[in-house]
Amino acid sequence: MSTAWLDELRWTGDGLVPVIAQEASSGQVLMFAWMNREALALTVTEGYAVYWSRSRQKLWRKGEESGHRQKVMEIRLDCDEDVVLLKVEQAGGIACHTGRHHCFFRVLRDGAWVTVDPVLKDPEAIYR
């Protein structure tokens, strides 16, 4: 398959694109991450989410340590061609490294961030 479609994205100056992972079945936004060209191409080829870790400066396959992989059902590009949306099936029901279903577990209430979603599995038990 040609990779010319990658040229249609508006990559940041450091060669990245923001990516939102959304649970296909519920519509719940699970997480936000970054991809470079290689990560997006690998995601398409492998059928599972591959991201770019800015802190570690390397590719990471979602779930490579935890087993909480994201099977990609659909990939969408926004109207400005600068944000990717992945519709995924989340293995194990946990997308966040904190052991929660999704990464957006805090709500701003009365000027303070309040945790509103429970830890489903202790991160110490997830990551070795």
Q: What is the pLDDT along the chain (128 residues), one digit of tens a residue?
A: 678 999 999 999 999 999 999 999 999 999 999 999 999 999 999 999 999 999 999 999 999 889 999 999 999 999 999 999 999 999 999 999 999 999 999 999 999 999 999 999 988 888 76
pLDDT for the residue 124: 86
CATH class of residue range 4-93: alpha beta
Name the token pair of 75. Answer: 């990939």
State how far the Cα of 69 lies from the Cα of 117, in Å rounded to an integer: 21
Length reported for the chain:
128
What's the pLDDT score for residue 127?
Answer: 78
At 125, which helix (H) or strand (E)?
helix 123-126
> How many CB atoms neighbour CB 105 within 10 A?
16
Provide the H-helix boundaries in 27-80: 37-46
